[in-house]
Amino acid sequence: MSDAEAIAAGLPCWTGPVEPVRLEGGISNDNFLVEDGGKSFVVRVNGDVPEHGVLRINDANCNRAAAAVGVAPGVHYAAPDAMVVEFISGRTCCEDDLCDQHNLERFLPLLKRTHVEGFKALRGPVCAFWPFRVCRDYAFFLEDNPNGRGRDLARLRDVNGRLEAMVGAFSPVLGHNDLLAANVIDDGDRLWLIDWEHAGLSSPLFDLANLSVNNGLDETQTGWLLENYFERPLDDALRQRFAAMKCASLLRETMWGMVSEITSRIDFDFAAYSAEYMTRFDAEYAKL
């Protein structure tokens, strides 16, 4: 039994002995399915990850707020090294699902409820997520822990500052901030958002941009998304701010991969991941 499996099996929330079953696919945590008391749960094992700004108390509090407004599974148990949430029986989405217009129309109310109602349901300590500060912190980390990426840092810092100025001020919402298709579950009736470790007080534009770049939305869908989210026609100012935030989303994902190359113990090709996102970032930034 691995250390992570032993942690999952030994949590005090179980009514009796359990046998965790590893779930494949995660690149941030060790994930397990556990049956206990006739119910199914997902256990995510990992402590705080300060280099990525991940604090488990924030993870749990954001997940609880989202669950309170019906957009996320409920938190069954939370500790510094593990969190247990209710298992949602359904299909993990892929990019093709979220760029389908029908599913996009199902997802938008979920996102708005997260941003507005989830924000009102927050209790306890919650982090702020500002992608430009995240990228600055990543640059500090990469400077202190060189891995051949130093030649990129001056350029990335400069671009990050330019993008921040273009995006401008915002009114905070509860943002999920990691809208990969794999974090959306379709139970056949409704959609659910899972994995809240990067959640926090954020700009609504980041989730919208993150949704767009992570799932291949085209210009027509992007226009629909923005006009229906903000409930007004899309103008040049909003279009420009959104384009800058799309670049910020890709830059943050690039630098997340660069830091993970150094720190992660998970068997995954983070170098290829960060290189792919760097290419995508450069292409998107060139459009500005």
Q: Is 165 exposed, middle or buried (0-12, 13-18, 19+ CB in 10 A)?
A: exposed
Q: Which residue has the tokens 């669950």?
A: 67
φ and ψ of 40, to 5 deg = -110, 140
Contact 204, 173 (CB under 8 A): yes
Is the pLDDT score of 280 beyond 70?
yes
Q: Do 142 and 273 share a structural domain?
A: yes
Contact 111, 207 (CB under 8 A): yes
Q: Do 66 and 41 share a structural domain?
A: yes
* pLDDT at position 213: 96
Give residue-wise pLDDT tens across range 114-150. 999 999 999 999 999 999 999 999 999 999 987 766 6
Domain boundary among 57, 86, 115: 86
216: CATH: 3.90.1200.10
Domain boundary among 55, 86, 117: 86
Q: Do 211 and 172 share a structural domain?
A: yes
Q: Would you place residue 151 in the very low, low, confident or very high pLDDT band (cuts 50, 70, 90)?
A: low
Domain boundary among 86, 106, 138: 86
Q: Do 229 and 135 share a structural domain?
A: yes
How many domains are there within the chain? 2
In angstroms, the CA 179 to CA 183 distance is 6
Q: Stretch 6-35: mean pLDDT, rounded?
A: 92
Host domain of residue 247: 91-287
In angstroms, the CA 278 to CA 257 distance is 10
Q: Do 279 and 149 share a structural domain?
A: yes
The whole model's pTM is what? Answer: 0.95
Q: Do 248 and 228 share a structural domain?
A: yes
Q: Do 234 and 138 share a structural domain?
A: yes
Q: Do 16 and 150 share a structural domain?
A: no
* Secondary structure of the chain as H, E, C letters: CCHHHHHHHCCCCCCCCCCCEEECCCCCCEEEEEEECCEEEEEEECCCEHHHCECHHHHHHHHHHHHHCCCCCCEEEEECCEEEEECCCCEECCHHHHCCHHHHHHHHHHHHHHHHHHHHHCCCCCCECCHHHHHHHHHHHHHHCCCCCHHHHHHHHHHHHHHHHHHCCCCCEEECCCCCHHHEEECCCCEEECCCCCCEEECHHHHHHHHHHHHCCCHHHHHHHHHHHHCCCCCHHHHHHHHHHHHHHHHHHHHHHHHHHHHCCCCCCHHHHHHHHHHHHHHHHHHC
Is the pLDDT score of 2 beyond 90?
no
Q: Do 237 and 140 share a structural domain?
A: yes
Q: Stretch 232-257: mean pLDDT, rounded?
A: 97
Q: Do 101 and 71 share a structural domain?
A: no
Is the pLDDT score of 169 beyond 70?
yes
**Vertex 84: Cα angle to 260 and 263 (nearest 5):** 10
49: CATH: 3.30.200.20
Q: Do 240 and 119 share a structural domain?
A: yes
What's the full length of the chain, in residues?
288
Q: Which residue has the tokens 């998107």?
A: 284
Give residue-wise pLDDT tens across range 182-216. 999 999 999 999 999 999 999 999 999 999 999 99
Q: Do 131 and 115 share a structural domain?
A: yes
